[in-house]
Structure 1
Amino acid sequence: MTTILKTSFALLLLGVSAAAAQSVEGQAFHATLAGQAILPAATVVAAPADAPAFLKQAGKFTTPDRQRTTELGKVAGMDGKRPTNSGLPIDGQSVQGFSGIRKMPDGTFWSLSDNGFGSKATSSDAMLMLHHLAIDWTAGTVDRKETVFLSDPEMKAPFPITLEGTDTRYLTGADFDVESIQPVADGFWVGEEFGPYLLKFDLEGRLQSAHATRVGETKVMSPDNAMLKLPDNPTKPLPAINLKRSGGYEGLALSPDGARLYALLEGPLYTDGKVATVEDGRTGLSIIEFDTAKGDWTGRSWLYPLAEGGEAIGDFNMISDTQGLVIERDNGAGRPGEACKGEPAADCFATPAQLKRIYKIELTDENVGKAARKIGYIDLLAIKDLKGLAKQGGKDGIYDMPFVTIENVDRVDETHIVVGNDNNFPFSAGRELNKADDNEFVLLDVADFLKAE
């Protein structure tokens, strides 16, 4: 084959490859910044007056060996090799880590703080809480109108909680890892990662039910499931763990009529050591349907196919009977221009952000058990900001979100969506090299994206 023919053939293959990628990932759409609001990273809320003294300060067990630390700020926050100039423990409870959002008819939002300080082992003094937020896009502020602290006074959790012997029985980050939320008329549905469990709370934050996960007839079990019983003898087989740690319900969507919940796992299920995949070999994350009236799984599910370079999802909300919005991300943080040239160091980003997207997907009766269709996406690393609306993160007409975890998305109206990060206080520093990330919420104009079919 001549050089010209080889070159032509290579270009043809490249074109076919690009077209195939376009067909499975959908069309790329532009997003324009319409507003930004910021809640400072170190925002705290006092524990309720009736909470045990143990909960008046948070983050007391965050050293590598979980040694109790009571001196405020003594344990330095670190993002890899980079100090974040914040520390633990703190006086009060951290409002950090918004992980899931839902717009209400009056224009306010419900969100929630995730389980605490990075793991089950380090979060026994981190209270679980939901937040009612009002965002002023003009002033750029976030007003926490109400905080609902979660508890289990009726002993609905199927295992002993950390504060089992107390009267108030507040829930902590050693009990559940709450990551997604859907407000309903009589309370809140919440998805969590340790079980993973689907949880129902009343309007006062009291646990009403806890639903273990099934995909069809398959029980889903994470390494952090409190019901897990390890064998006494090392020669005996381990129990069936088929989901990685921190692989539970990062996304939870509700059908417009409220009849169905769609719970989206952050990690893929494993069968015989192999991850779930869709027809073309891409890794697939289970979207599992739940009947809210019956209080049980329907047996139907779909697979959300990760893009090349995608590692996890961040949030999920339905915007019609069949279409929804999903955040997909890699595990990188920081801008590529500040990447480390060699070994990770304190003055550079070891693994810069490369893939931070919001996809519009479609679930239908026809693709049950198969891949959800990706209609299109926007790139959160290249948001237009020609009017200079960004209060932080804007440069040369572009606003970006180079955070490791972006975990909030919902439609605001026919042309706008809201997006926010989980700042993992005090551990994540993706905006600046040595400063803990704030909680950033942005209003994005994505009219064409929302209309895409």
Structure 2
Amino acid sequence: MRAGFCFGIAATLLSLAIPAASAEQARLRLIGEQRIPHRLVFDGTVVGGLSGIDYDARSDTWVMASDDRSEFSPARFYTARLDYDATQFRAIKLEAVHLFRQADGSTYPAQQGEVADIEAVRVDPQDGSIWYASEGSGSLGLSPFVRRAAADGSYRVALPMPDLFKDDPGHQRGPRNNLSVEGLSFAPDGQSLWLGMEAPLYQDGPVATQEHGAVSRLTQFARSGKVLAQYAYPVDRVQGVPAAGHFGDNGVSEILVFDTYHLLVLERSGVQDAAGHFTFHIRLYMVELDGATNVGGYPALTGVDYQPLRKQLLLNFDSAGLNKVDNLEGMSWGPLLPNGHRSLVLVSDDNFSDDQVTQLLAFELLPASD
């Protein structure tokens, strides 16, 4: 066991009355916020780039994966304890760091071999092993992957990926560079996994702009890698207005299974000001699976008829009352609160940037009767 490191900042409690968006007419109430100090050094690694989070009920701990391409420290995940209840989010305590290992036992390299850009992490509900997803690298010709590791990060197995998601050197088909796999979540029974793409495959149409939205794919896999279902998710237009000549985007940054018939989807827009600094506009949607077309057999989504997934806004973080909303990329259910309600935690990826923060937000899910 490595030495722990505990820290905290004051958190504000407020109630958010949110438009109903599920069969339960769910609402969210913000419990509070905590932040991890910028570029904190823990057990010889630089903490940052936290793009995935999940709760391990067996040990009452959390795992948080970094999307560092082994540039600051080797590809890794942290275990931590979060201290919160329905009234306050008190502190975060990092407990250990584990390095992800390749099949030959080596850590992932920075710019040679197979670079890992880990965007999502989940604890296996059956045995506590760790599943993680890398979005690959179009510039390096690396396809996205989903792999399973032991609790210490050592390699176990890779999930077979369909040809649809493999990198195309000609950039005519398949995933776009840095707009690939972003979300991962287990089904309620633990027998299948959902994978969310950030943006359209090349053959599925253009990326989102200020004028129009886009479409990404959400795919359900059996644990063996067999594709069980695939749906078209409608991505919003870019939110906010970038400065002239500067960047703005919008896409899926995480997914989370709500129940058998619904998913939560986190959308994130990042827009640059004239100095190149980003402002983030985050929205959380409840998505209904029933009625959508299974597009698993469609090699392209342009020029064909299909029914996309239906979604309804659960929370617009622009109106959440927070001083700052950063680049939220990870989302997980937490333990039940003392009142029996579910808790939800989100984490931001600071990109190791001096003008961003690593923030964790804890929410309470309120049923319609409350």
TM-score normalised by structure 2 residue count: 0.73
Equivalent position SS for 1:219 = helix
Instruction: Give the drift of 1:210.
Output: 2.6
Which residue does the alignment assign to 1:399? 322
Give the number of aligned pairs: 308
Contact 1:39 1:440 in 2 (8 A): yes
**How far, CA to CA, are the matches of 2:56 and 2:216 in structure 1?**
28
**How far, CA to CA, are the matches of 1:448 and 1:136 in structure 2?**
23
Alignment partner for residue 188 of structure 2, among 256, 262, 277? 256
Larger radius of gyration: 1
Listed as ranges, the gaps of 5+ residues in structure 1 are: 1-21, 47-91, 117-122, 156-167, 229-237, 334-339, 384-397, 430-436
Instruction: Give the drift of 1:219.
Output: 2.6
* Structure 1 residues 128 and 316: CA distance shift in structure 2, 3 A: same
**How far, CA to CA, are the matches of 2:72 and 2:344 in structure 1?**
34
Alignment partner for residue 411 of structure 1, among 333, 336, 348? 333
Equivalent position SS for 1:330 = strand
Instruction: Give the drift of 1:428.
Output: 5.4
Alignment partner for residue 219 of structure 1, among 164, 170, 175? 164
Alignment partner for residue 358 of structure 2, among 439, 442, 446? 439
Alignment partner for residue 41 of structure 2, among 44, 54, 76? 44
* Structure 1 residues 25 and 350: CA distance shift in structure 2, 3 A: farther
Instruction: Give the drift of 1:43.
Output: 1.1
Which residue does the alignment assign to 1:377? 314
Instruction: Give the drift of 1:128.
Output: 0.9
Contact 2:30 2:363 in 1 (8 A): yes
Which residue does the alignment assign to 2:121? 181
Which residue does the alignment assign to 1:291? 222
| Richer in strand (by share) | 2
Which residue does the alignment assign to 1:35? 32
Which residue does the alignment assign to 2:267? 328
Which residue does the alignment assign to 1:135? 82
* Structure 1 residues 23 and 302: CA distance shift in structure 2, 3 A: farther
Is 1:274–2:274 an aligned residue pair? no
Contact 2:53 2:63 in 1 (8 A): yes
* Percent of aligned pairs with the same amino acid: 17
Q: Could you tell me which amino acid in structure 2 is paired with residue 95 of structure 1?
A: V
Deviations 1:61-92 (A, max 9, x none): xxxxxxxxxxxxxxxxxxxxxxxxxxxxxxx4
* Structure 1 residues 209 and 321: CA distance shift in structure 2, 3 A: same
Is 1:358–2:284 an aligned residue pair? yes
Q: Could you tell me which amino acid in structure 1 is paired with residue 196 of structure 2?
A: L
Instruction: Give the drift of 1:357.
Output: 0.9
* Structure 1 residues 245 and 287: CA distance shift in structure 2, 3 A: same
**Correspondence 1:136-175 to 2 at 5 A:** 136-137=83-84, 138=88, 140-152=90-102, 154-155=103-104, 169-174=106-111, 175=115
**How far, CA to CA, are the matches of 2:119 and 2:107 in structure 1?**
17
Contact 2:289 2:309 in 1 (8 A): yes
Which residue does the alignment assign to 1:115? 68
| Richer in helix (by share) | 1
Instruction: Give the drift of 1:439.
Output: 1.5
Contact 1:222 1:247 in 2 (8 A): no
**How far, CA to CA, are the matches of 2:83 and 2:257 in structure 1?**
24
Listed as ranges, the gaps of 5+ residues in structure 2 are: 1-18, 137-142, 240-249, 296-306
Instruction: Give the drift of 1:125.
Output: 5.9
Which residue does the alignment assign to 2:257? 318
* Structure 1 residues 323 and 239: CA distance shift in structure 2, 3 A: closer
Instruction: Give the drift of 1:372.
Output: 2.1
Q: Could you tell me which amino acid in structure 1 is paired with residue 151 of structure 2?
A: L
